[in-house]
Amino acid sequence: MKKIILFIIQLFLLVIICELGIYLSNFFSLPIPGSVIGMLILFILLQTKIIKVEWVDITSTFLVKHLAFFFIPISVSLMTMGWLFLKYGLPLALTLLISLIIGFIVSSLVVQKFSRREEVKQRDNIHHTL
């Protein structure tokens, strides 16, 4: 019974933060969805330790465990919008492909740069120990 009460309280806290994000998005007429702003607010509150992880861990673990279930309504809705994909599918696919390629290139360059730094550090450590 105690876990259920904690779950409800934590869920209530997460909903309040999400609603705050929605309110801020509407109030300032931001082009960012309110739920995204709510996640950013939660992230900032967690990073600054204003909200402790323990305050939302039971509910967040449950929600993440059942995350796939929340995509079912979206998937069903997308099936009814085939005309939308026919009309905007090619530009969307090209945008995704270009951003994927750019992401791969940037990621590989960053990994190579850090790999070289690590090799130099290891080489310097070997020379200093000799």
* pLDDT over 90, % of the chain: 62
DSSP for residue 55: G
Look up residue 22 and give its two tokens.
Answer: 């929605």
Look up residue 97 and give its two tokens.
Answer: 């492909």
Same domain, 115 and 86: yes
Q: Check pLDDT > 80 for residue 38.
A: yes
Q: Check pLDDT > 90 for residue 92.
A: no
Domain boundary among 26, 46, 69: 69
Rounded mean pLDDT, 29-46: 94
pLDDT value, residue 75: 80
Same domain, 82 and 62: no
Same domain, 47 and 101: no
Same domain, 85 and 63: no
Rounded mean pLDDT, 72-77: 82
Domain encompassing residue 24: 1-69
Angle subtended by helix axes 2-27 and 57-65, to nearest 10: 80
Number of domains in the chain: 2
Rounded CA-CA distance 95/91 in Å is 6
Domain boundary among 44, 69, 94: 69
Q: Which residue has the higher pLDDT, 47 or 126?
A: 47
C-beta separation of 7 from 59 below 8 A: yes
Residue whose token pair is 């999400």: 18
Closest CA to 63 of 18, 1, 2: 18
Rounded CA-CA distance 65/24 in Å is 29
